[in-house]
Amino acid sequence: MNKPIVLTGIKPTGHPHLGNYIGAIKPALEMAKKTNYQSMYFIADYHALNTVQNAEQLKSYTYEIAATWLALGLNPEKVIFYRQSDVPEITELNWILSSITSKGLMNRAHAYKTKVDKNTEVGLDIDAGVNMGLYTYPILIAADILMFQSDLVPVGKDQIQHVEIARDMAASFNHTYSETFKLPQHVVTEETATIPGLDGRKMSKSYGNVIPLFESPEKLKKLIFKIKTDSSLPTEPKDPKQSSLFTLYKEFAEENEIIYFKRRYEEGIGWGEVKQQVFNVLNRELEGPRAEYHNYINQPKILQEILEVGGENARKRAQENLKIIKQRIGLTF
Protein backbone atom coordinates (compact mmCIF):
# COMPACT_ATOMS: atom_id res chain seq x y z
CA MET A 1 0.00 0.00 0.00
CA ASN A 2 1.40 3.40 -0.92
CA LYS A 3 1.74 5.88 1.88
CA PRO A 4 -0.40 9.02 1.73
CA ILE A 5 1.50 11.99 0.29
CA VAL A 6 2.18 15.18 2.19
CA LEU A 7 3.40 17.90 -0.13
CA THR A 8 4.46 21.48 0.31
CA GLY A 9 6.37 24.12 -1.63
CA ILE A 10 8.89 26.70 -0.52
CA LYS A 11 9.45 29.81 -2.59
CA PRO A 12 13.07 30.91 -3.06
CA THR A 13 12.40 34.63 -2.85
CA GLY A 14 14.67 35.84 -0.05
CA HIS A 15 17.32 35.06 2.52
CA PRO A 16 15.89 32.67 5.12
CA HIS A 17 15.23 34.44 8.43
CA LEU A 18 14.13 33.58 11.95
CA GLY A 19 10.48 34.21 11.10
CA ASN A 20 10.62 31.64 8.27
CA TYR A 21 12.22 29.13 10.57
CA ILE A 22 9.75 29.37 13.41
CA GLY A 23 6.65 29.92 11.27
CA ALA A 24 7.23 27.42 8.48
CA ILE A 25 10.42 25.36 8.55
CA LYS A 26 10.18 24.04 12.10
CA PRO A 27 6.58 22.78 11.82
CA ALA A 28 7.24 21.27 8.39
CA LEU A 29 10.27 19.37 9.67
CA GLU A 30 8.15 18.03 12.52
CA MET A 31 5.61 16.83 10.00
CA ALA A 32 8.33 15.15 7.91
CA LYS A 33 9.29 13.00 10.88
CA LYS A 34 5.96 11.17 10.71
CA THR A 35 6.74 7.86 9.09
CA ASN A 36 3.19 7.00 8.09
CA TYR A 37 3.38 9.58 5.28
CA GLN A 38 5.57 10.11 2.26
CA SER A 39 6.65 13.74 2.44
CA MET A 40 7.49 15.72 -0.67
CA TYR A 41 9.08 19.15 -0.23
CA PHE A 42 10.00 21.21 -3.21
CA ILE A 43 11.65 24.50 -4.03
CA ALA A 44 9.06 26.45 -5.97
CA ASP A 45 11.47 28.16 -8.34
CA TYR A 46 8.96 28.71 -11.14
CA HIS A 47 6.76 30.46 -8.60
CA ALA A 48 9.62 32.73 -7.62
CA LEU A 49 10.10 33.78 -11.22
CA ASN A 50 7.27 36.27 -11.14
CA THR A 51 9.14 38.36 -8.58
CA VAL A 52 12.82 37.34 -8.73
CA GLN A 53 13.96 38.28 -12.21
CA ASN A 54 17.70 38.20 -11.76
CA ALA A 55 19.48 34.96 -12.66
CA GLU A 56 22.23 35.15 -10.05
CA GLN A 57 19.78 36.04 -7.33
CA LEU A 58 17.38 33.22 -8.17
CA LYS A 59 20.25 30.74 -8.17
CA SER A 60 21.57 32.01 -4.90
CA TYR A 61 18.16 31.98 -3.16
CA THR A 62 17.61 28.44 -4.40
CA TYR A 63 20.89 27.24 -2.91
CA GLU A 64 20.24 29.13 0.31
CA ILE A 65 16.82 27.55 0.74
CA ALA A 66 18.12 24.06 -0.02
CA ALA A 67 21.07 24.49 2.37
CA THR A 68 18.79 25.89 5.09
CA TRP A 69 16.38 22.96 5.03
CA LEU A 70 19.15 20.40 4.99
CA ALA A 71 21.11 22.17 7.74
CA LEU A 72 18.03 22.24 9.94
CA GLY A 73 17.53 18.51 9.66
CA LEU A 74 15.59 17.65 6.50
CA ASN A 75 16.61 14.11 5.60
CA PRO A 76 16.71 13.70 1.80
CA GLU A 77 16.71 9.91 2.18
CA LYS A 78 13.27 10.05 3.74
CA VAL A 79 11.74 13.13 2.15
CA ILE A 80 11.54 13.64 -1.60
CA PHE A 81 13.26 17.01 -1.88
CA TYR A 82 13.37 18.55 -5.35
CA ARG A 83 13.21 21.64 -7.49
CA GLN A 84 9.93 22.31 -9.22
CA SER A 85 11.73 23.16 -12.48
CA ASP A 86 13.36 19.71 -12.53
CA VAL A 87 9.93 18.19 -13.12
CA PRO A 88 8.71 19.66 -16.42
CA GLU A 89 5.59 17.48 -16.25
CA ILE A 90 4.29 20.01 -13.73
CA THR A 91 4.24 22.76 -16.32
CA GLU A 92 2.51 20.43 -18.78
CA LEU A 93 -0.18 19.77 -16.22
CA ASN A 94 -0.32 23.51 -15.58
CA TRP A 95 -1.34 24.00 -19.21
CA ILE A 96 -3.93 21.24 -19.09
CA LEU A 97 -5.47 22.69 -15.94
CA SER A 98 -5.48 26.21 -17.33
CA SER A 99 -7.76 25.01 -20.10
CA ILE A 100 -10.40 23.92 -17.61
CA THR A 101 -10.07 26.94 -15.33
CA SER A 102 -12.36 29.92 -15.73
CA LYS A 103 -10.79 33.34 -15.92
CA GLY A 104 -13.25 34.60 -13.33
CA LEU A 105 -11.82 32.23 -10.75
CA MET A 106 -8.39 33.78 -11.23
CA ASN A 107 -9.91 37.26 -10.82
CA ARG A 108 -11.05 36.21 -7.38
CA ALA A 109 -7.80 34.56 -6.25
CA HIS A 110 -6.47 36.59 -3.38
CA ALA A 111 -2.85 37.27 -4.39
CA TYR A 112 -4.11 38.94 -7.56
CA LYS A 113 -7.09 40.57 -5.87
CA THR A 114 -4.89 42.14 -3.20
CA LYS A 115 -2.75 43.66 -5.92
CA VAL A 116 -5.82 44.99 -7.75
CA ASP A 117 -7.18 46.52 -4.55
CA LYS A 118 -3.86 48.24 -3.86
CA ASN A 119 -3.67 49.58 -7.40
CA THR A 120 -7.23 50.87 -7.18
CA GLU A 121 -6.51 52.57 -3.87
CA VAL A 122 -3.68 54.60 -5.31
CA GLY A 123 -5.46 55.30 -8.58
CA LEU A 124 -3.36 53.10 -10.85
CA ASP A 125 -4.60 50.82 -13.63
CA ILE A 126 -5.98 47.73 -11.86
CA ASP A 127 -3.42 45.48 -13.53
CA ALA A 128 -0.37 47.68 -13.05
CA GLY A 129 2.62 45.52 -12.12
CA VAL A 130 0.71 42.26 -12.60
CA ASN A 131 2.34 39.64 -14.79
CA MET A 132 0.61 36.48 -16.00
CA GLY A 133 2.73 34.43 -13.61
CA LEU A 134 1.10 36.20 -10.69
CA TYR A 135 -2.36 36.13 -12.26
CA THR A 136 -2.35 32.39 -12.92
CA TYR A 137 -0.33 31.49 -9.83
CA PRO A 138 -3.12 29.28 -8.38
CA ILE A 139 -3.09 27.07 -11.48
CA LEU A 140 0.60 26.28 -11.08
CA ILE A 141 0.01 25.54 -7.41
CA ALA A 142 -2.80 23.16 -8.36
CA ALA A 143 -0.44 21.44 -10.81
CA ASP A 144 2.20 21.12 -8.07
CA ILE A 145 -0.32 19.45 -5.81
CA LEU A 146 -2.32 17.30 -8.23
CA MET A 147 0.73 16.05 -10.16
CA PHE A 148 1.61 13.76 -7.26
CA GLN A 149 -1.88 12.79 -6.07
CA SER A 150 -1.15 14.63 -2.82
CA ASP A 151 -3.36 13.87 0.15
CA LEU A 152 -2.30 16.59 2.55
CA VAL A 153 -0.88 20.03 1.91
CA PRO A 154 0.56 21.87 4.92
CA VAL A 155 0.26 25.61 4.37
CA GLY A 156 0.05 28.90 6.21
CA LYS A 157 -3.42 30.41 6.61
CA ASP A 158 -2.88 32.71 3.66
CA GLN A 159 -2.52 29.71 1.33
CA ILE A 160 -5.71 27.82 2.23
CA GLN A 161 -7.55 29.33 -0.71
CA HIS A 162 -4.93 27.91 -3.07
CA VAL A 163 -5.46 24.37 -1.84
CA GLU A 164 -9.22 24.82 -2.12
CA ILE A 165 -8.85 25.96 -5.70
CA ALA A 166 -6.71 22.88 -6.45
CA ARG A 167 -9.40 20.72 -4.92
CA ASP A 168 -12.12 22.33 -7.05
CA MET A 169 -10.02 21.86 -10.17
CA ALA A 170 -9.48 18.20 -9.36
CA ALA A 171 -13.21 17.67 -8.84
CA SER A 172 -14.07 19.47 -12.03
CA PHE A 173 -11.52 17.46 -14.03
CA ASN A 174 -12.83 14.23 -12.53
CA HIS A 175 -16.37 15.24 -13.43
CA THR A 176 -15.45 15.99 -17.05
CA TYR A 177 -13.03 13.12 -17.69
CA SER A 178 -13.79 10.48 -15.05
CA GLU A 179 -12.11 9.86 -11.72
CA THR A 180 -8.45 10.85 -12.08
CA PHE A 181 -7.23 13.10 -9.28
CA LYS A 182 -7.31 12.68 -5.55
CA LEU A 183 -8.89 15.62 -3.78
CA PRO A 184 -6.18 17.24 -1.66
CA GLN A 185 -6.75 18.67 1.78
CA HIS A 186 -4.97 21.56 3.43
CA VAL A 187 -3.42 21.23 6.86
CA VAL A 188 -2.92 24.56 8.56
CA THR A 189 0.37 24.37 10.33
CA GLU A 190 -0.48 25.02 13.92
CA GLU A 191 -0.75 28.66 14.76
CA THR A 192 2.70 29.57 15.94
CA ALA A 193 3.25 32.91 17.58
CA THR A 194 3.76 35.73 15.11
CA ILE A 195 7.46 36.32 15.24
CA PRO A 196 8.25 39.95 15.81
CA GLY A 197 11.01 41.66 13.87
CA LEU A 198 13.50 44.32 14.96
CA ASP A 199 10.82 47.02 15.11
CA GLY A 200 8.21 44.89 16.89
CA ARG A 201 6.08 44.38 13.77
CA LYS A 202 5.77 40.91 12.24
CA MET A 203 9.19 39.76 10.97
CA SER A 204 8.94 40.07 7.22
CA LYS A 205 11.22 40.74 4.32
CA SER A 206 8.86 43.45 3.11
CA TYR A 207 9.28 45.41 6.36
CA GLY A 208 13.07 45.13 6.28
CA ASN A 209 13.08 44.08 9.94
CA VAL A 210 14.37 40.52 9.71
CA ILE A 211 17.08 38.63 11.56
CA PRO A 212 18.76 36.29 9.08
CA LEU A 213 19.04 32.71 10.33
CA PHE A 214 22.70 32.05 9.77
CA GLU A 215 24.50 35.31 10.46
CA SER A 216 27.81 35.24 12.30
CA PRO A 217 27.46 35.30 16.11
CA GLU A 218 28.68 38.92 16.13
CA LYS A 219 26.03 40.04 13.63
CA LEU A 220 23.35 38.04 15.39
CA LYS A 221 24.22 39.69 18.66
CA LYS A 222 24.22 43.13 17.10
CA LEU A 223 20.76 42.59 15.60
CA ILE A 224 19.31 41.22 18.83
CA PHE A 225 20.58 44.28 20.64
CA LYS A 226 18.75 46.41 18.06
CA ILE A 227 15.33 44.95 18.92
CA LYS A 228 13.05 47.73 20.11
CA THR A 229 12.19 47.78 23.83
CA ASP A 230 10.32 50.20 26.08
CA SER A 231 11.95 52.66 28.46
CA SER A 232 11.08 50.86 31.71
CA LEU A 233 13.81 50.67 34.33
CA PRO A 234 15.72 47.43 35.03
CA THR A 235 14.05 47.07 38.43
CA GLU A 236 10.51 47.39 37.06
CA PRO A 237 8.50 44.18 36.59
CA LYS A 238 7.89 43.38 32.91
CA ASP A 239 5.15 41.46 31.13
CA PRO A 240 6.70 38.60 29.12
CA LYS A 241 3.56 38.46 26.95
CA GLN A 242 4.22 42.00 25.72
CA SER A 243 7.86 41.36 24.96
CA SER A 244 9.05 40.36 21.52
CA LEU A 245 12.37 39.30 23.04
CA PHE A 246 10.54 36.82 25.24
CA THR A 247 8.64 35.45 22.22
CA LEU A 248 11.94 34.77 20.47
CA TYR A 249 13.48 33.23 23.57
CA LYS A 250 10.56 30.87 24.01
CA GLU A 251 11.01 29.35 20.57
CA PHE A 252 14.56 28.23 21.32
CA ALA A 253 14.90 27.67 25.06
CA GLU A 254 14.22 24.59 27.20
CA GLU A 255 11.06 24.38 29.29
CA ASN A 256 12.83 25.08 32.61
CA GLU A 257 14.76 27.99 31.12
CA ILE A 258 11.50 29.56 29.97
CA ILE A 259 9.96 29.26 33.43
CA TYR A 260 13.03 30.84 35.02
CA PHE A 261 13.20 33.65 32.46
CA LYS A 262 9.53 34.43 32.99
CA ARG A 263 10.17 34.79 36.71
CA ARG A 264 13.08 37.14 36.01
CA TYR A 265 10.77 39.31 33.90
CA GLU A 266 8.21 39.47 36.67
CA GLU A 267 10.81 40.37 39.26
CA GLY A 268 12.37 43.04 37.06
CA ILE A 269 15.28 42.56 34.68
CA GLY A 270 17.23 45.03 32.55
CA TRP A 271 16.74 44.91 28.78
CA GLY A 272 20.48 44.61 28.26
CA GLU A 273 20.53 41.40 30.21
CA VAL A 274 17.42 40.11 28.46
CA LYS A 275 19.11 40.65 25.12
CA GLN A 276 22.25 38.89 26.24
CA GLN A 277 20.20 35.86 27.38
CA VAL A 278 18.23 35.79 24.13
CA PHE A 279 21.47 35.89 22.18
CA ASN A 280 22.99 33.09 24.27
CA VAL A 281 20.08 30.73 23.69
CA LEU A 282 19.64 31.51 19.99
CA ASN A 283 23.33 31.19 19.34
CA ARG A 284 23.52 27.92 21.22
CA GLU A 285 20.71 26.41 19.14
CA LEU A 286 21.82 27.82 15.81
CA GLU A 287 25.54 27.12 16.08
CA GLY A 288 25.34 23.54 14.75
CA PRO A 289 22.95 24.27 11.86
CA ARG A 290 24.96 27.39 10.96
CA ALA A 291 28.13 25.32 10.46
CA GLU A 292 26.17 22.76 8.41
CA TYR A 293 24.63 25.54 6.35
CA HIS A 294 28.02 26.97 5.44
CA ASN A 295 29.29 23.49 4.59
CA TYR A 296 26.50 23.11 2.06
CA ILE A 297 26.82 26.62 0.65
CA ASN A 298 30.53 26.07 0.12
CA GLN A 299 29.89 22.80 -1.70
CA PRO A 300 27.12 23.52 -4.17
CA LYS A 301 27.90 20.25 -5.93
CA ILE A 302 26.52 18.34 -2.97
CA LEU A 303 23.36 20.43 -3.04
CA GLN A 304 22.99 19.85 -6.76
CA GLU A 305 23.36 16.11 -6.33
CA ILE A 306 20.78 15.94 -3.55
CA LEU A 307 18.29 17.94 -5.61
CA GLU A 308 19.01 15.87 -8.69
CA VAL A 309 18.25 12.60 -6.93
CA GLY A 310 15.05 14.09 -5.49
CA GLY A 311 14.14 15.49 -8.89
CA GLU A 312 14.51 12.12 -10.61
CA ASN A 313 12.41 10.44 -7.99
CA ALA A 314 9.67 13.07 -8.24
CA ARG A 315 9.84 13.02 -12.01
CA LYS A 316 9.26 9.28 -12.21
CA ARG A 317 6.08 9.68 -10.22
CA ALA A 318 5.00 12.65 -12.32
CA GLN A 319 5.57 10.82 -15.60
CA GLU A 320 3.43 7.88 -14.55
CA ASN A 321 0.67 10.18 -13.53
CA LEU A 322 0.84 12.40 -16.58
CA LYS A 323 0.51 9.36 -18.82
CA ILE A 324 -2.82 8.54 -17.25
CA ILE A 325 -3.97 12.16 -17.38
CA LYS A 326 -3.14 12.38 -21.07
CA GLN A 327 -5.09 9.22 -21.77
CA ARG A 328 -8.10 10.66 -20.00
CA ILE A 329 -8.12 13.81 -22.08
CA GLY A 330 -7.48 12.06 -25.39
CA LEU A 331 -3.87 12.99 -26.00
CA THR A 332 -2.55 9.46 -26.42
CA PHE A 333 -3.45 7.00 -29.14
Q: Is 186 in the site for ligand TRP (CB under 6 A)?
A: no
Q: Is 136 in the site for ligand TRP (CB under 6 A)?
A: no
Q: Is 144 in the site for ligand TRP (CB under 6 A)?
A: yes
Nearer to ligand TRP, 153 or 245 (CB): 153
Q: Is 317 in the site for ligand TRP (CB under 6 A)?
A: no
Name the residue number minimizing CB distance to ligand TRP. 9
Please name the residues in contact with 104: beta carbons below 8 A apart, sequence gap of 6 or more.
none
Q: Build a one-symbol-per-residue string for 40-69: x at contacts with ligand TRP by CB under 6 A, - elsewhere.
A: ----x--x----------------------
In Å, how far are 84, 158, 275 from 23, measured between CA atoms?
Answer: 22, 13, 21
Q: Is 155 in the site for ligand TRP (CB under 6 A)?
A: yes
One of 22, 87, 153, 213 touching ligand TRP (CB under 6 A): 153
Task: Please report how close the Cβ of residue 108 comes to ligand TRP at its closest, in angstroms.
Answer: 17
Please check whether residue 184 is in contact with residue 155, taking contact to mean a CB–CB distance below 8 angstroms: no
Task: Please report how close the Cβ of residue 244 comes to ligand TRP at its closest, in angstroms.
Answer: 24
Smallest Cα–Cα separation from 32: which of 3, 62, 6, 66? Answer: 6
3-state SS assignment for residue 5:
strand
Q: Is 195 in the site for ligand TRP (CB under 6 A)?
A: no
Distance separating the N- and C-terminal Cα atoms of the chain? 30
The phi, psi pair for 202, rounded to 5°, reads -50, 135
What's the CA angle centered on 305, arms 299 and 311, to 5 degrees?
Answer: 140
Task: Please report how close the Cβ of residue 309 comes to ligand TRP at its closest, in angstroms.
Answer: 21
3-state SS assignment for residue 185:
strand
Q: Is 83 in the site for ligand TRP (CB under 6 A)?
A: no
Using CB under 6 A as the binding rule, the residues of this chain from 7 to 26 that contact ligand TRP are 7-9, 11
Q: Is 159 in the site for ligand TRP (CB under 6 A)?
A: yes
| SS3 annotation, 258-319 | HHHHHHHHHHCCCHHHHHHHHHHHHHHHHHHHHHHHHHHHHCHHHHHHHHHHHHHHHHHHHH
Q: Is 141 in the site for ligand TRP (CB under 6 A)?
A: yes
Q: Is 244 in the site for ligand TRP (CB under 6 A)?
A: no
Binding site for ligand TRP (CB under 6 A): 7-9, 11, 44, 47, 141, 144-145, 153, 155, 159
